[in-house]
Structure 1
Amino acid sequence: MFTPRKFWHPYVSPFDPCKPILVKSYSTPPSLYIQVQPPNLPQFDPHTALCKGTLWPLYYDPYHGPVEGKHPEVER
């Protein structure tokens, strides 16, 4: 199983004038972890596929930006 969201803890300088960001994250696409597309994958219906941007649920990677709020996997 792959982890689509990666986390790291950047260096925090004691002289930084701004409030530090203690945990940063980035997203990796599911296609990085799938070598060859397996046959007979389940598919979204056409309307859902257009909304999600892919026909196959295996390749779907939701975007968690500032509008959607914090990502649920962020550890504090």
Structure 2
Amino acid sequence: MNVPHEQKVAFTNMKSYRPFHSRFDPCRPIGVKYYSTPPHLYMGFQPPNLEQFSPQVALRKGTLWPALYDPYVNPYKGKREE
């Protein structure tokens, strides 16, 4: 059954929200805040026979499995106003 107001959102590990700002708040608005969700939150159980990094690559990436690798991308870089 198709719901007309249903929105499909693309999957991303980086989420964002805009904190509430009252018009009576003496400080200027914070703007958009970002947070990252790790990939293991979206896996119920670890599937068998997952692909593995080589030991040298796994040490650099911090995980043995590419499915659980989540590189950090700074969402604030380049957005700062001075």
Q: Given the two structures, how large is their TM-score scaled by the length of structure 2?
A: 0.65
State the structure with more CA Rg.
Answer: 2
Query: Please, which runs of 5 or more residues in structure 2 have no aligned partner?
Result: 1-9
Superposition RMSD in Å: 2.4
Match of 2:64 among 44, 47, 55: 55
Percentage identity across paired residues of the two chains: 54
Superposed structure 1 runs of 4+ greater than 4 Å apart: none
Higher RCO (Cα < 8 Å, 6 or more apart):
1
Query: Please, which runs of 5 or more residues in structure 1 have no aligned partner?
Result: 71-76
**Amino acid paired to 1:61:** D
Count of matched residue positions in the alignment of Structure 1 and Structure 2: 68
Cα offsets for 1:14-45 (capped at 9, x unmatched):
4444x533211101111111011111111111
Q: Given the two structures, how large is their TM-score scaled by the length of structure 1?
A: 0.69
